[in-house]
Structure formats: C-alpha cells, structure tokens
C-alpha cells in the first residue's frame, strides 16, 4: 500500500457515553453547543432542548482533554488504488461524562421506568421458502448430564433418574444377602452405588446398613460404608480388598 504523507492537522479523540452516541446517531442534524477552554483543557457539550430529554432541561457532558504520547496515531483515507492519504494526527484524547444534575437524574429515572415496564412478546416468524431455515434442536431430558459428564456417566445418570421412584423395597434378609455379596468384592462402598446395584431406595438401604455396617474411618473412605467388624472375616485384606461373606442366620 502506497502512503502519501501530507501536512496533517491535529485532532481530538473523544469517548462518548452510550446515550450521547445514540442521540447523535438518531439526530443527524443535531446542533449541540461545544465549548473548549484552552487554559484548563476542559471540553463541554450541551445538548439542545430539541432532543428527547428537553422536558428535563439541558444535559451537559464534560471531559478533561489530555495529550496522547503516541506520535504515530493518525487518521487516513484509502482510495481505490490502495493509496493511503494521511489526513490528521490524533494528538489529544478525552472521556465525556454527564454532569450529574437534577436534569440528568430525572432522565435516568425515566429510562429505568421504561426498562421495568418492558415486556417480551413472541410471534410466529414469517417463513420465507427462499431462505435456509435454521434447524431447531430439542435438548435431551437429561441434557445436564450430557453436558457435565462423559457419555457413559450420562447413560448411568439417566438410568438412575428413570428408576429413582420405581425402586421397590425387598425383604430385608434378601437385601442383606445382596449387600454381603457386594462387600465380599470390596470393603468400602458409597450408598448411591449400593442403591444402584441392589435397586433399593437409598433411605431404606441406609436403615439396613446401620444394622450390618458402619461408616469408614476418617480420610479417604470417611463418607463410605463398610461391614461391621463382626461381619468381616479375620483374614480380611487391605482397605478396599475382598472380604469373606458371612453366613446369614
């Protein structure tokens, strides 16, 4: 790209509040009053009473103008031959902020009331057969599991949710037999895992576990269940190892 350097003018870069920007954008013929004091480097913009806020008085925006250290910040144009022409150098910057007077406070209150009265309405979109219609996907009823876990965990979570209210209480002795079979494979179990393997309600299973089991020692297995010492074999292995299945009388 060819760059043509000309004698440039120095310009000012101003950051506008959203309300002021929208006002200028919607009123292209708006003539605001701009005042600049070269001694104090203060810039002031007064919106005329012709804008929407006229009933609240004149709104004033002020800014402290500061020089920009970067000497290579310019405004330029590019023509069809990709030739860039420097127009001006950005030498000053400022941030316009509203003056908090009674007029400004009344305007903010009005805008807040308009936001609180806002209501969402829905309507059937007009179908245009000439345009590609977006595909709408419906989420799975257990979508939170699919988002949070891997597919295998999601499938297990879905099964747990589906059968949660369909578990029927079995005979206590039959449940104990199932528990002893499970504890013979490993020493510590979580209540939810035992409920899944036995298909029993967790509250009912916890009552039976209090008869034959106890919570694990402080540490890794603190919140898990193990068999009471009288139901564990004498040659039991390390933590998590297999245990002997006791005889049920």
Same domain, 95 and 172: no
pLDDT at position 130 is 57
pLDDT digit string (tens) for 196-223?
Answer: 888 888 899 999 999 999 998 888 888 8
pLDDT value of position 210? 92
Residue 205: other Cβ atoms inside 10 A: 23
**What's the number of domains the chain is made of?**
2
- Shared domain for 28 and 94, answered yes or no, is yes
Q: CA-CA distance, 188 to 214, in Å (whole number)? A: 10
The answer to whether the CB of 171 falls within 8 A of the CB of 160 is no
9 with 96, same domain?
A: yes
pLDDT of residue 115: 56
Please tell me whether residue 50 adopts helix, strand or coil conformation. coil
In a domain, 140, yes or no: no
**What is the residue range of 183's domain?**
162-231
> Does residue 246 fall inside a structural domain?
no
Cβ–Cβ under 8 Å, residues 84 and 8: no
Q: What is the pLDDT of residue 32?
A: 76
Tell me whether residue 188 is in a domain. yes
Residues 7, 98, single domain; the answer is yes
Tell me the whole-structure pTM to 2 decimals.
Answer: 0.36
Is residue 118 one of the residues assigned to a domain?
A: no
Please indicate, yes or no, whether residues 27 and 102 belong to a single structural domain of this protein.
yes
In a domain, 239, yes or no: no
Q: Note the pLDDT tens digit of each residue in 7-27.
A: 567 888 888 888 777 877 887
Helix (H) or strand (E) holding 154: helix 151-163
Q: What is the C-alpha to C-alpha distance for residues 48 and 51, in angstroms, rounded to an integer?
A: 6
Are 168 and 90 members of one domain? no
Spans in the chain with pLDDT lower than 70: 1-8, 49-58, 70-71, 103, 107, 111-166, 233-249
Domain boundary pick from 84, 106, 128: 106
């Amino acid at each position: 790209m060819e760059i043509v350097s000309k004698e440039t003018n120095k310009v000012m870069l101003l950051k506008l509040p959203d309300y002021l920007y929208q006002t200028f954008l919607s009123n292209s013929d708006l003539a605001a009053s701009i005042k600049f004091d070269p001694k104090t480097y203060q810039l002031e913009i007064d919106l005329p009473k012709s804008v929407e806020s006229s009933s609240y008085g004149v709104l004033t925006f002020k800014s402290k103008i500061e020089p920009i250290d970067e000497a290579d910040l310019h405004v330029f144009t590019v023509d069809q031959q990709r030739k860039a022409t420097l127009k001006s150098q950005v030498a000053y910057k400022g941030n316009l902020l509203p003056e908090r007077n009674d007029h400004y406070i009344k305007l903010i209150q009005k805008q807040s009331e308009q936001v609180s009265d806002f209501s969402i309405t829905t309507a059937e979109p007009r179908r245009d057969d000439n345009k590609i219609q977006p595909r709408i996907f419906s989420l799975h009823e257990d979508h939170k599991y699919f988002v949070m876990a891997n597919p295998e965990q999601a499938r297990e979570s879905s099964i747990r949710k589906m059968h949660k209210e369909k578990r029927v209480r079995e005979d206590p002795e039959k449940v104990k037999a199932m528990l002893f079979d499970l504890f013979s494979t490993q020493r510590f179990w979580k209540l939810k895992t035992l409920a899944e393997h036995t298909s029993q309600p967790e509250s009912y299973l916890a009552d039976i576990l209090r008869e034959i089991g106890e919570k694990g020692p402080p540490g890794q297995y603190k919140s898990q269940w193990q068999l009471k010492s009288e139901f564990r074999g004498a040659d039991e292995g390390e933590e998590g190892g297999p245990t002997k299945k006791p005889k049920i009388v």
